Homo-oligomer: A and B are copies of this chain.
Amino acid sequence: MWSTIGQLGEFGLIERVTARFPGTDDVILGPGDDAAIVSAPDGRVVATTDVLVETRHFRREWSSAEDVGRKAAAQNIADIAAMGARPTALLVGFAAPPDVPVSWAEELAEGLRAECAFAGAAVVGGDTVSAGEITLAITALGDLEGRSAVRRDGALPGDVVAVAGSLGLSSAGFALLEAGVHGAADAGSDEADPGWLRCLGEHRRPRPPYADGPGAARLGARAMLDVSDGLVQDLGHVAQAGTVVIDLDSAAFVPEPELSEAVVLLHELGRTGRGALEHMLFGGEDHALAAAFPPEAELPPQWRVIGTVSAPGADGPRVAVDGASVSARGWEHFR
């Protein structure tokens, strides 16, 4: 038996993992040819690419291979949903050292498959190469189903800003991992299932509200994006692109109980840097969707109104909390 991907070889690995990837009605031709063929009934295709690098975007000691696969798929599918599109397909570039266990690659593939299945998409192709560090390059495709895309630049003064999905849990989960808490046992918890454990789960496997992307488009959303770098930083793009001010109402930021629990635990561990509101404003990677809707939009409960859009004053486009400008403290890569 082959225990590492170097022993198994490129073609053996491809054969092993592509067997896991079932098709959908959108898959006209799956893995194995020069290219895949995916349905694009709308006559337009939505496409996005993200690259994840070990140590920088995930750690094998913090996340299982299946976690990494689910997260890699999720963050790309969330970008498709954030355009108001229905996800159809994923392509996977996988670079890894030859000593990576075959089982790790198989579990990664299982994570990709499972998240695609959850979102209604399918893995249709990819590439595997040898490299010094594990790198995943995911491309997601989607279909607009005849709708207009919801871009970043359409917010208008008077619009309301609303969010679907979790805020801050992934960030708190990351802080817990940094503090050495990898599971309930690490924190000495006697409870069977402490609430803050969910923050670890959301960090490892974010659960973007995929269906709310097309849903927002149907509700008339004028601008939308997925919260990947942090709400303030990401809404900064909406403010800049639309030349508007986005004023967030701190009272509208009600932390989920599991986030509050995690913040308490972090404080007990001496990690006092961020409160729940800071995690919600500046923490990324939950892949919630944030959108600007016309004030008359009738929003279903999963869309929580968190602020309003107004015309820029002398300060120009910006994001404010309770009227006070706030700067993005999300990540900027390379720096």
Name the one of B33, B80, B95 contacting A35, with C-beta atoms under 8 angstroms: B80
Would you call B29 and A151 a contact (CB within 8 A)? Answer: yes
Would you call B126 and A335 a contact (CB within 8 A)? Answer: no
Closest to A13 in B: B334
Would you call A91 and B47 a contact (CB within 8 A)? Answer: yes
Residues of B within 8 A of A117 (CB): none
Would you call B133 and A49 a contact (CB within 8 A)? Answer: no
Which residues of chain A (67-105) have a CB below 8 Å from chain B?
78-80, 82-83, 85, 89, 91-95, 98
Would you call A149 and B37 a contact (CB within 8 A)? Answer: yes
Q: Complex formed: what's the CA distance from A4 to B250 in Å?
A: 39
Would you call B41 and A334 a contact (CB within 8 A)? Answer: no
Determine if A10 is an interface residue (Cβ-Cβ < 8 Å). yes
Would you call B34 and A48 a contact (CB within 8 A)? Answer: yes
Determine if A139 is an interface residue (Cβ-Cβ < 8 Å). yes
Determine if A219 is an interface residue (Cβ-Cβ < 8 Å). no
Q: How many copies does the complex hold?
A: 2
Q: Complex formed: what's the CA distance from A152 to B37 in Å?
A: 13
Which residues of chain A (1-41) have a CB below 8 Å from chain B?
5-6, 8-11, 13, 28-29, 32-41
Residues of B within 8 A of A329 (CB): none
Q: Complex formed: what's the CA distance from A78 to B334 in Å?
A: 32
**Which of A50-58, A176-184, A259-267, A274-282 lies on the face that meets chain B?**
A50-58
Closest to A8 in B: B334
Q: Complex formed: what's the CA distance from A10 to B228 in Å?
A: 14
Would you call B128 and A333 a contact (CB within 8 A)? Answer: yes
Residues of B within 8 A of A98 (CB): 334
Would you call A56 and B129 a contact (CB within 8 A)? Answer: yes
Q: Complex formed: what's the CA distance from A91 to B9 in Å?
A: 27
